[in-house]
Structure 1
Amino acid sequence: MALLIGNTQARYGWIAILLHWLIALLFIAQIALGLAMVRMTSQRSAFELIQLHKSIGFLLLGLVVLRLGWRLANVTPRLPAGTGLLERRAAPIAHFTLYALQFAPPLTGWALVSASVLEIPSMPFDLFVMPNLPVPVSDASEAWWGATHAYLAYAAVGLVAVHALAALRHHFWLGDTVLVRMISPSRRCDGDKPE
């Protein structure tokens, strides 16, 4: 079988799979960093974690833009034949919401650092200075963006958990290929013809 780069009607290609899992791992790292950095007693350690959190946030934002572009440029594999009407209608809404919650936390984090009265420049991985967003700089603005960023991150965690449980349901309960095709395109999926 040739290396499957793009998606087909039956399965995801390697680019979609790699972007999916890379974003998932970075998202988990971001949640862990976010929780750790606000609990640090050492200001130096907290500052270093915040800088890493910001760097990964900008990386995530870029990867999500790339992933969305790839999704729009490729076919989306169809759902298994046995998928019910309600699930067929809910799936696009759930995916749209997942994309929205992949964009929102990094953007609100960017707005948060842009609104900070401390005016500490954001330097993703110490490579360049990221310009601030045009938001008001004040304690009130920083607090608002901080709360919004936190609530959106928690909402994203909740939706990602539902997404993971749905994938496990498809695999273990329904026995279809929804999860398998996001692991490897070399696995046989519904509707595939032998190659």
Structure 2
Amino acid sequence: MIAIRNTTRFWGAGAQLLHWLMAAGIATSMVLGWVMVNMPAGSAQFRLYALHKSLGITLLALVALRLVWRWINVTPPLPDSLPRHERWLAKAGHRALYALMLLMPLSGYVINSAANFPLNVFGLVQIPNLTPASESLGDLASNLHLAFFWGFVAVLTAHIGGALRHHFVLRDNILRRMLPVRHASDDRSRS
């Protein structure tokens, strides 16, 4: 049975749920973003933009919730066997992921606000604009949004590569402790 809260050895069900919901939401939003900017203008593109924006605002709320969850829960430490530079890289990578998970949707929100478009989240709630209409601000936010996207792709690639390295090469519990399935060996291992 997986505990709701984190322990010193494993991420709890709450952290895992937020992690994997965000992973699915971010992947979906990134694909939608890529498709929508490369398709002809029209009603299909408009619907994809609306879905992309709704997902972005939802992900912004989820990352805020995730930061609160992380603040009120213990964080399972990295294994003592991990070299100092790898510990530093892991911490820097996680900080970069969190920063980009905030900056991507915020810059998208600014793009939308600067264009003076309504922001209707999944047709349920209208979100007020964050900024006044401004073409120059919209252009700046658009350039930043794209830069944050590519930065996120780079950091995410390193994050996934690191997790797979831990699982298949180092054979430690780093990846398994974020998975909702436990193995008997997890209870015996301290890493």
Deviation at 1:34, TM superposition (A): 0.4
Q: How does 1:23-102 map to 2 (within 5 A)?
A: 23-102=22-101
Matches within 5 A, 1:78-157: 78-116=77-115, 119-134=116-131, 136-157=132-153
What is the CA distance between 1:112 and its match in structure 2? 0.5
2:154 to 144, 154, 158: 158
Letter in 2 for 1:147: N
Q: Secondary structure at the match of 2:127?
A: coil
Deviation at 1:154, TM superposition (A): 1.4
SS in 2 for 1:4: coil
* Map of 1:181 onto structure 2: 177
Q: Give 4+ residue runs of structure 1 displaced > 6 Å after superposition.
A: none
In structure 2, the residue matched to 1:16 is: 15
Q: 1:56 to 1:69 in 2, by over 3 A?
A: same
TM-score (norm 1): 0.91
Displacement after TM superposition at 1:185 (Å): 6.1
In structure 1, distance between residues paired with 2:63 and 2:52: 16
Is contact 1:6-1:14 (8 Å) kept? yes
- Distance (Å, rounded) in 2 between the aligned partners of 1:154 and 1:3: 35
Say whether the 8 Å CA contact 1:13–1:185 is kept in structure 2.
no
Q: Which runs of 5+ in 1 are unaligned?
A: none
The whole-number CA distance in structure 2 between the counterparts of 1:14 and 1:185 is: 10
TM-score (norm 2): 0.93
- Percent sequence identity over matched residues? 39
SS of equivalent to 2:156: helix
Which consecutive residues of structure 2, in runs of 5 or more, have no partner in the other structure?
A: none
Determine the C-alpha separation between the residues in 2 that align with 1:184 and 1:66.
Answer: 19
- Alignment length, in residue pairs? 188
Q: CA RMSD in A?
A: 1.5
12-21 vs 34-43, which moves further: 34-43
1:35-89, Cα deviation, whole Å (9 max, x unpaired): 1111111411111100000000000001100111101111110112321111122
CA distance in 2, matches of 1:88, 1:120: 43
Q: Is residue 5–residue 15 contact of structure 1 (8 Å, CA) maintained in 2?
A: yes
Task: Report if the CA contact (8 A) 2:97-2:155 is conserved.
Answer: yes
